[in-house]
């Protein structure tokens, strides 16, 4: 199953405050079968110890390491708050991307998220998405990038020099 699916995308939500946005984030993970309620509760614990605000109006709420036992499967969700949520420190969150993962299954989607957030226009598209499909396409792992990396690695293995690709120095 994909880490991010239609059922985990929620557009046009309203949150009274940060705590409400965190509660909604945890509830979605439980609703889609990714986690049990104790994991959703641990999202608050994580936020107390370190902010999950990433920048560009996006936060990635997730539970503590100790709460991983309550994860059923690796999944993420997307919750859009068009009015914004005060995340503290002068930060306003327009999109929460809660994560439930006991291993590394979510890394490809987070890599895609990082790519989106590095381009202000793409970050704006993510914050202002008006259709579920827009969110899914923006956060889908970019297969052409994976193919490009595989081609570069293959060429390097054959002894060819590729610009921007260094050979592995390990024997």
* Catalytic positions, written as ranges: 62
Given a contact cutoff of 8 angstroms between Cβ atoms, the answer to whether 56 and 117 are in contact is yes
Can you read off the two tokens belonging to residue 45?
Answer: 């614990």
Nearest to 21 by CA among 110, 77, 85, 99: 85
Q: Is the Cα torsion angle 61, 67, 68, 73 positive or negative in sign?
A: negative
Given a contact cutoff of 8 angstroms between Cβ atoms, the answer to whether 11 and 130 are in contact is yes
């Amino acid at each position: 199953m994909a880490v991010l699916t239609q059922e985990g995308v929620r557009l046009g939500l309203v949150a009274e405050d940060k705590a409400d946005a965190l509660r909604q984030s945890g509830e979605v993970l439980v609703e889609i079968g990714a986690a049990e309620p104790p994991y959703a509760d641990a999202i608050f614990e994580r936020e107390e110890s370190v902010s999950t605000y990433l920048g560009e109006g996006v936060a990635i709420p997730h539970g503590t390491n100790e709460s991983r036992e309550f994860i059923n499967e690796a999944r993420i969700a997307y919750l859009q708050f068009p009015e914004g949520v005060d995340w503290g420190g002068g930060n306003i969150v327009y999109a929460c991307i809660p994560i439930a993962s006991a291993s590394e299954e979510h890394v490809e989607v987070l890599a895609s998220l990082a790519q989106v957030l590095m381009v202000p226009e793409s970050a704006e598209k993510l914050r202002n998405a008006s259709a579920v499909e827009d969110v899914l396409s923006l956060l889908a792992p970019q297969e052409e990038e994976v193919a490009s990396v595989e081609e570069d690695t293959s060429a390097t293995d054959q002894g060819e020099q590729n610009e921007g690709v260094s050979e592995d120095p390990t024997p």
